[in-house]
Amino acid sequence: MSVQDFALATEVAARRRLGATVVLAALVVLLVLISLGIGPVRLSPLRVIEALFGGGSEVAQVIVREIRLPRTILAVAIGGMLGLSGAALQGLLRNPLAAPSLFGAPQAAAFGAVLVISLDLADVRSYALPVAAIIAAFGSVFALLAIAGRNAGLLILILSGLAISSFAGAATALVMNLSSNPFVALEIAFWLLGSLEDRSFQHVAIALPFIIAGAFILLSQASSFRALTLGEEAAQSLGVDVGRLRLLVISGVALGVGGAVAVTGSIGFIGLVAPHLMRPVIGHDPARLLVPSALAGSALLLAADIAVRIIPATSDIKVGVLTSIIGVPFFLYLIKRERRALGGGVA
Amino acid sequence: MCGQYRRNLTAPLPLAGEGEQSRRGRQRYSFLRALTFAALMWLVSTSPSLASGPRIVSMNVCSDQLVLSLADPYQILGLSRFARDAWQSWAADAARHYPVLSGGAEDVLVLKPDVVVVSRFDKRETRDLLQANGLHLVEFTVPRTLDEVKAQIRQMGDVVQHPDRANAEIARLDAAIVRARATVTAHHYRVLPLERRGWVPGEDSLVSSLLTEVGLTNAADELGFRAGGFASLEAIVKLRPDFILVSEAGDRAEDEGRAFLLHPALEHFYPPDKRIVLPERLTVCGGVMLADALDRLTAELKRVTR
């Protein structure tokens, strides 16, 4: 390949990346509009747009602006955060199977939030919930990386993640028993499944600041992830403080996932699926993968949340259930594909 | 069991006054007291049907309240786990004087009650086990109308062998119904009873019959919920009933189920002066507390239509 050919190939790749990002962004916008247009009460697209900008009947305005809009904003923000967290963790660990949900972070965050709900420590629409969730999520990811060590193989990470998420699940069940609220078991069972239903701007207000802070931290580390693909020592020689990077990524993931889980319960597997969907298009550069993964995450969660509203069911389907039903087979497929690497980890 | 019985018999007897009374008087009084007690004990031991009604265990929060309002204290051997829960039970304070059961069969078997009052809809295995061990079970269903409630009060009056008290309570309920009907306005407001997570009790619920008694219409029917169902926020906002009926005022959401009722979209159309508040302990069970529920409902209706 001549120098010209190489330059051309690079340019084509860059154009493809840009094209893919633009298409994804357009898809997210389209899904946002559909999400605003769909609900138990049928409103024509024209009336939805009218109501969104403060026109039309009072009822339509309240439905679009107070009920559908916060739900849509949360889907975009949380889906994006999960996709971004997945891409960042995969970049940090140089491992395509890394994702917050496999490491027990959402489960641990859920435990933190459930503790607050069960013991009736604060209003569910107060900052106490995300703060407790973030602390628990931070603890779990920190524990995982401490246990599994720096260059842990796939198997060790996944096994430790499984143990941590089982532990968080058991602790959650235990805390539920201590509650004086007679409805708490049902409430939490529902909540753990993950749902965006009937969320309001109060929920947006408690989740969004943490999600934005987390996303900012993760995006700011893009160049470090790229350096890390060369190996930890090479990255260090390029001036990357790997210890600090780890701490920053853990904090970013904990902030984002904790904030998200506090208002929606745990929604799994988006962080795993989104970066994988993007890799064939974007390539394997973890720095370039961050933004497209976030967009893909938003699109996935929006689509899932639209689907739960369309699928006919006697009672509402939880969006977390849907993402897991799609995500788990995908994860199994990935394991099958990575079998050789996994086998290598054991040996 | 016997100890409890004795305590209950002696407690109401006034003790002799202190200080001023002569020693002789006091002695005579305590002699009389002992005599009365002996006579009563004799009566109890020879003819149980005369002085002692059946000893009762209640295993459901609703039957707890019926038992508490109709039985003599010595008749109550144990109540259900939720008997003291002020949120569910109107008689929570009264329940504090009685033992609370585990909910399982073991402690009931040990107590050997004459009658075990249960709900037809819970703990089937426990009920079967108790029955297999020779205990006499009386099942109560969930009443849906005020007439069914009256029938249950009467039935429980028979179980505890105090039909006179049951009749008095039914009369009290009837008086409340008459009071409520007197306030019925010409305008039949549409009211949507709304519980946590948007659960709407249907037309065949007790709440619905209370609404009908005071001349209100349950808007659940317009949502197609004859037997109850979960209403979405959007559907409620579109339906726009005149008022919503909730079980608690206030602005605190201890969980997401309660947060539903405090969603800004609902608060927009239903601020506190559009919310009829009827505490759950007055409406979850059929019983003598429904007289209070009706009075409360009329008072709330006056408040929101003022």
Domain segments of chain A as ranges: 3-346
B18 has pLDDT over 50: no
Residue B100, beta-bridge partner list: B79
- Scanning B72-131 for CB atoms below 8 A from A yields 82, 85, 87-88
Query: Which of A41-45, A158-162, B53-57 has the least mean pLDDT?
Result: A158-162
Q: At what angle do helices A128-148 and A105-118 cross, to 10 degrees?
A: 140
CA distance A112 to A131: 8
Question: What mean pLDDT value characterizes chain B?
Answer: 83
Written as one string, the DSSP assignment of B256-270 is HHHHHHT-HHHHHH-
A61 CB within 8 Å of a chain B CB: no
- pLDDT confidence bin for A1, thresholds 50/70/90: low
Amino acid in position B62: C
CA distance A235 to A131: 33
* Domain locations along chain B: 2-51, 186-305
Report the run of H or E that residue B93 belongs to, with start and end.
Answer: helix B92-95
CA distance A310 to A283: 34
The answer to whether the CB of A182 falls within 8 A of the CB of B87 is: yes
- Pick from A38, A63, A71, A73 the residue to mutate for testing the B interface (most B CBs within 10 Å): A63
Rg of chain B on CA atoms, in Å: 24
Question: Residue B107 has which token pair?
Answer: 């402690």
Asked if A198's CB is within 8 angstroms of B198's CB, the reply is yes
Q: For residue range A328-337, list pLDDT tens digits in order.
A: 898 888 878 8
A40 CB within 8 Å of a chain B CB: yes
Closest CA to B136 of B152, B155, B163, B118: B118
Alpha helix positions (H), B100-195: 106-111, 124-132, 146-159, 163-182
Q: For residue range A209-241, list pLDDT tens digits in order.
A: 999 999 999 999 999 999 988 888 888 898 888
Burial of B75 (0-12, 13-18, 19+ CB in 10 A): buried
Asked if B82's CB is within 8 angstroms of A200's CB, the reply is no
Q: For residue range B229-253, list pLDDT tens digits in order.
A: 889 999 999 999 999 999 988 888 8
The answer to whether the CB of A305 falls within 8 A of the CB of A35 is: yes
- pLDDT confidence bin for B33, thresholds 50/70/90: low
Alpha helix positions (H), A101-241: 105-118, 128-148, 154-177, 184-192, 201-220, 222-228, 232-237
The answer to whether the CB of A238 falls within 8 A of the CB of A227 is: yes
Question: Residue A310 has which token pair?
Answer: 């369309």
pLDDT of residue B25: 47
pLDDT of residue B12: 35
Closest CA to A200 of A28, A48, A72: A72
Question: What mean pLDDT value characterizes chain A?
Answer: 88
- pLDDT confidence bin for B31, thresholds 50/70/90: low
CA distance B269 to B250: 16
Fold for the domain defined by B186-305: Rossmann fold (3.40.50)
Question: Residue A121 has which token pair?
Answer: 């420590």
- Pick from A35, A180, A183, A184 the residue to mutate for testing the B interface (most B CBs within 10 Å): A183
pTM of the model: 0.81
CA distance A289 to A295: 10
Main-chain dihedrals φ then ψ at residue A20, nearest 5 degrees: -60, -40
Superfamily of domain A3-346: ABC transporter involved in vitamin B12 uptake, BtuC (1.10.3470.10)
CB-nearest to B255 from A40, A67, A183 is A183
Closest CA to B161 of B54, B50, B48, B43: B54
pLDDT of residue B14: 35
B13 CB within 8 Å of a chain A CB: no
Question: Residue B92 has which token pair?
Answer: 């929570």
How large is the average pLDDT for residues B294-304? 91
Asked if A187's CB is within 8 angstroms of B255's CB, the reply is yes
Tracing tokens 């394997």 back to the chain, one arrives at A284
Task: Please give, rounded to a whole number of angstroms, the shortest distance from the CA of B120 to a CA of chain A.
Answer: 21
B43 has pLDDT over 80: no
pLDDT of residue A155: 76
Q: For residue range A64-88, list pLDDT tens digits in order.
A: 999 999 999 999 999 999 999 999 9
**B173: Cα within 13 Å, side-chain hemisphere:** 24
| B192, B293, B81, A168: CA torsion to nearest 10 | 30
CA distance A226 to A245: 12
CA distance A62 to A52: 9
